[in-house]
Amino acid sequence: MLRDAHHRTIQYVRLSVTDRCNLRCTYCMPEHMQFLERSELLSYEEIERSMRVLASAGVTKLRITGGEPFLRKDLLRLLEKLTPLMDISITTNGVLTAPYIPALKALGIRNINLSLDTLQADRFLQITRRNRFPQVMATLESLLAHQMNVKINMVVMDGINTGELHNFAALTRENPLSIRFIEEMPFNGQGKGFSGINWHYRKILDTLNEKYILEKLPDETASTSLNYSISGHCGTVGVIPAYSRTFCGTCNRLRITPTGGVKTCLYGDDVMNIRDSLRSGAADSELLEALQTAVWHKKKDGFEAAAANRRSQHESMSVIGG
């Protein structure tokens, strides 16, 4: 098992399979990114091997993220190898996703988080610096048509999209969607200045309450979101206090960067490197031991982790794997 000194057990891994992206969301990365060389990335064989080791240590859930995961060549080939090992979900920006939906469904992958911060094409261009709104909306439609479990991630940005909170909540009236409003975090690779947030989760909830009567749903185990139903709506809404960090106490997550860096906290630095271990000839048992040691030292919460690490505050979320 992977246990830390604060009595938490790791069962959930988020793996960023590439740092590359076809959007340039201002809260995530600058326009001109220095992307990694392919040889620096964990290979599919290295990913599969390390996921086997993690599965043997009790990890049951894996989220594939990025960068944009569908930019990684032959992603389906990797997913075919991983679906027998763990319950897989994917976070995607939806630009290239639509044609893959039937194949994902055939592999048993039903849980898709789609990032969408606005319902307006001009604002989409302003936020992502790319004109891909129609493709993303087509993906959303197709996901719903294929009855996938869809969560929309909406990063709430002061003065940019806060006027759209009610419109997003309105989407849940007819559609079985979960909309999750996310507090903005500092990890923008210096694409944008960051000096804290005005829109913390309580303010988001207060704004939703102006129009809707929210009813709190029971918290799922180790969930990062607080979820609510709205009377008469078939979908739900939620808030993710990603900056306020109210969920650290039950954290069961580990992050792996595209180069195999292991993060035991979103706000912390890499604490070991899977790729370097494997390429220096580590046996599975040695890799497991290194992971167990890294997890044991997981910081109590994101504030402690941030205090110990100044560097990652400037990292892009595409590397951390949001």
Q: Is 239 in the site for ligand SAM (CB under 6 A)?
A: no
Direct distance between the N- and C-terminal alpha carbons of the chain, in angstroms, rounded to an integer: 24
Q: Is 96 in the site for ligand SAM (CB under 6 A)?
A: no
Contact between 204 and 181 (Cβ < 8 Å): yes
Neighbouring-strand partners of residue 150: 112, 177
Q: Is 21 in the site for ligand SAM (CB under 6 A)?
A: yes
The entry of ligand SF4, ligand SAM, none that residue 29 binds, CB within 5 to 8 Å by partner kind: ligand SF4
CB of 184 to ligand SAM, least distance (A): 5
CA distance 45 to 68: 20
Neighbouring-strand partners of residue 63: 14, 89
Shortest CA distance to 23 belongs to which of 67, 63, 65? 67
Among 18, 153, 161, 277, interactor with ligand SAM by CB under 6 A: 153
Neighbouring-strand partners of residue 179: 152, 237
The entry of ligand SAM, ligand SF4, none that residue 65 binds, CB within 5 to 8 Å by partner kind: ligand SAM
Cα-based angle 82, 87, 91 (whole degrees, multiple of 5) = 85
Residue (66 or 302) nearer to ligand SF4, CB: 66
Among 238, 241, 268, 322, interactor with ligand SAM by CB under 6 A: 322
Instruction: Give the number of other CB atoms < 10 A from CB of residue 212.
Output: 21
Question: Residues 97-136: x/- map of binding to ligand SAM (CB under 6 A)?
Answer: ------------------x---------------------
Helices (H) and strands (E) in the chain, counts: 11, 12
Return the residues of window 63-82 that contact ligand SF4 according to CB under 6 A.
66-68
Instruction: Give the number of other CB atoms < 10 A from CB of residue 297.
Output: 12
Among 2, 10, 13, 21, interactor with ligand SF4 by CB under 6 A: 21
Q: Is 139 in the site for ligand SAM (CB under 6 A)?
A: no
Sign of the four-CA dihedral 178, 181, 187, 192: positive
Return the residues of window 178-197 that contact ligand SAM according to CB under 6 A.
182, 184-185, 187-188
Query: Applying CB under 6 A, which part among 61-69, 70-78, 97-105, 305-313 lies near ligand SF4?
Result: 61-69
What the block records as the tokens of 55 is: 């599965």
CB of 91 to ligand SF4, least distance (A): 8
Query: Applying CB under 6 A, which part among 18-26, 72-80, 156-164, 200-208 lies near ligand SF4?
Result: 18-26
Residue (23 or 256) nearer to ligand SF4, CB: 23
Place of tokens 């002061």: 158
Among 12, 27, 100, 247, interactor with ligand SAM by CB under 6 A: 27
Could you tell me which residues come within 8 angstroms of residue 99 by beta carbon, excluding any fewer than 6 positions away?
Answer: none
Q: Is 161 in the site for ligand SAM (CB under 6 A)?
A: no
Q: What is 4-36 written as a DSSP string?
A: -TTS-B--EEEEE--S--S---TTT--SS--PP
CA distance 94 to 115: 7
Shortest CA distance to 11 belongs to which of 66, 57, 72, 42? 57
Return the residues of window 148-177 that contact ligand SF4 according to CB under 6 A.
none
Binding site for ligand SF4 (CB under 6 A): 21, 23-25, 28-29, 66-68, 93, 115, 317-318
Binding residues vs ligand SAM (CB under 6 A): 21, 27-28, 65-68, 91-93, 115, 153, 155, 182, 184-185, 187-188, 242, 317-318, 322
